[in-house]
Amino acid sequence: MKRPCAIIGHRGARGLFPENTLEGFAAALALGIDAVELDVALTADDVVVVTHDPALNPNLTRDTHGAWLEAPTPSLRLLRAADLSAYDVGRLRPGTAYSALYPNQSPRDGACIPTLDAVLRLDRLAQFVIELKTLPGEPGRTASGPELAEAVLATADATDATPRVTVEGFDWRGPRHLHRTRPDVRLAWLTRAETVRDAATWWDGPVPADFGGSVPRAVAAEGGPVWAPDHNDLTHALVDEAHALGLQVIPWTVNDPADMRRLIGWGVDGLVTDRPDRARAIVADASAPYR
Ligand code: MG
């Protein structure tokens, strides 16, 4: 039997709408996808806000006068949540390499960095994949994994969203803390080549050599249920190995149609993509009967 493949919009749907904004999440969910992925950080006053970067991103941030920010920009951990309404993140800065990556992103001028609370209240049925953006190699630059995980769960509980969230991180301290303290929360374990190579920093204890070099076995030892690898690191054999361990495999960030088709053929359980519109068409086609 063919496994269903979920479509998870990366940062909302970064290829189509401004990333990690209320406007972008609403538009992404309107595409009829299974979940949206988003990134979170803690402000100076310990509010969970939705943003990818530890400091305001000059590729997409303007001040109240409409001027593009120049690096070095303020760190999220030093700003208060109320300060964030002063910044517009609804458009990519023209002429940047970053904007060239997303030529089909339509702007939403006036969009701000939202709180997680506001995002979870946006849609009472939607599924959310929440990535804890903590940097264990740079203590103090972000909150710690357990600290951010606790704050995220407090927000999810307050908005009755906990049964609809998955919490994940490259820094395994946050998900591991929840595995111990909140077994009701669905977890995903992010990996990429750099974090596997430097597992001592990112995994805080186990290293791949403890599992014969097998990353899926390391994820299974943490309790699973989801392994979220960089799709460039994935092979058909690794998908099969993870499935044999009882894991689901949900690679990121898959934007090329040929990659989508190949991964669906390998039986992945979901795709995290900047182009959920494209993935939706391909998944629908792949699950169609022979014609
Ligand atoms: Mg992310």
201 Cα–ligand 1 center, Å: 19
Separation of CA 25 and ligand 1 centre (Å):
14
- DSSP per position, 53-121: SSB--TTT-B-TTSPBP-SSPPBGGGS-GGGGGG-B-SSPPTTSHHHHH-TTPPP-TT--PPBHHHHHH
Q: Per-residue pLDDT for 1 more than 60?
A: no
Measured in angstroms, how far is the CA atom of residue 288 from the centroid of ligand 1? 30
Q: How far is the CA of 272 from the centre of ligand 1 (A)?
A: 9
Least confident of 44-48, 84-88, 150-154, 287-291: 287-291
Residue 288 has pLDDT above 80, yes or no: no
Predicted confidence band of residue 289 (pLDDT cuts 50, 70, 90): low
Please tell me the distance between residue 27's alpha carbon and the centre of ligand 1 in angstroms: 18
Q: Kindly give the distance from the C-alpha atom of residue 209 to the centroid of ligand 1, in angstroms, as a whole number.
A: 27
The Å distance, Cα 69 to ligand 1 centre, comes to: 22
> Per residue in 214-238, pLDDT tens?
999 999 999 999 999 999 999 999 9
| The listed CATH number (3.20.20.190, 3.40.50.300, 3.60.15.10, 3.40.50.11810) that belongs to domain 6-55+114-284 | 3.20.20.190
Q: What is the pLDDT of residues 200-211, one digit of tens each?
A: 999 999 999 999
Using a pLDDT cut of 90, give the percent of the chain over it. 96
How far, in Å, is the centroid of ligand 1 from the Cα of 90? 18
Helix and strand element counts for the chain (H, E): 11, 9
Mean pLDDT of 112-127: 97
Say how many Å lie between the CA of residue 12 and the centre of ligand 1. Answer: 10
Q: Which residues are bridge partners to 115 per DSSP?
A: 49
- pLDDT, mean over the chain: 96
Q: Residue type at 7?
A: I
* Cα–ligand 1 centroid distance for 131 (angstroms): 5
Q: How far is the CA of 94 from the centre of ligand 1 (A)?
A: 23
Query: What separation in Å is there between the alpha carbon of 262 and the centre of ligand 1?
Result: 22
Ligand 1 centroid vs 170 CA: distance in angstroms? 9
How far apart (Å, rounded) are the C-alpha atoms in residues 120 and 136? 26
Closest CA to 3 of 263, 291, 279: 263
248-249 and 35-42: which strand pairing?
unpaired
CA distance 105 to 232: 24
Question: What does each C-alpha distance from 141 to 145, 160, 197, 276, 282 come to in angstroms?
Answer: 12, 30, 22, 32, 40
Predicted confidence (pLDDT) per residue in 172-190, tens digit: 999 999 999 999 999 999 9
Q: How confident is the model at residue 286 (pLDDT cuts 50, 70, 90)?
A: confident
- Ligand 1 centroid – CA 37 distance (Å): 6
**C-alpha 1 – ligand 1 centre gap (Å):** 31
Quote the percentage of the chain above a pLDDT of 70: 98
Q: What are phi and psi of 147, to 5 degrees?
A: -65, -45
Residue-range domain boundaries for the chain: 6-55+114-284
CA 289 / ligand 1 centre spacing (Å) = 34
* Ligand 1: centre distance to CA 51 (Å): 9
For residue range 48-99, list pLDDT tens digits in order: 999 999 999 999 999 999 999 999 999 999 999 999 999 999 999 999 999 9
